Amino acid sequence: MLATMGVAREVTSKEVTQRDLRMRSREIMDALESGQSFTVTRDGRRIGELTPMRHRRRFVPKQEFVALSRNAPAVDLDAFRADQDVVVDQRAQDVYGP
């Protein structure tokens, strides 16, 4: 709930005016932190978007990886290795040699 000039109201609109952003910045930031996105307007024109930061995951559960991989194209391993050989010299080199 947001209180503006003594009137409580919910953040249901995704558009906020520049003035609302200035006057209710704490309330809007709290809503943003809880996952709500906003489009900022000035003189009735859309000028920007406020979206929550996405937290980068470090781990993908096995079940999710399997589900996402089901529609992946098949990979021909021999062709993949041949492509790598074209780009990278795979021969062992003596880094201390002449």
The pLDDT tens digits for 57-77 are: 778 899 999 998 888 888 899
For the domain made up of 2-50, give the CATH fold.
Answer: YefM-like fold (3.40.1620)
DSSP 32-90: HHTT--EEEEETTEEEEEE-PPPPPPS---HHHHHHHHTTSPP--HHHHHHHHHHHS--
Predicted confidence at residue 1, as pLDDT, reads 43
> Can you tell me which residue has the tokens 């937290």?
55
pLDDT at 59: 84
Which positions of the chain have pLDDT values less than 70? Answer: 1-13, 98
What's residue 98's pLDDT?
67
| pLDDT score of 11 | 39
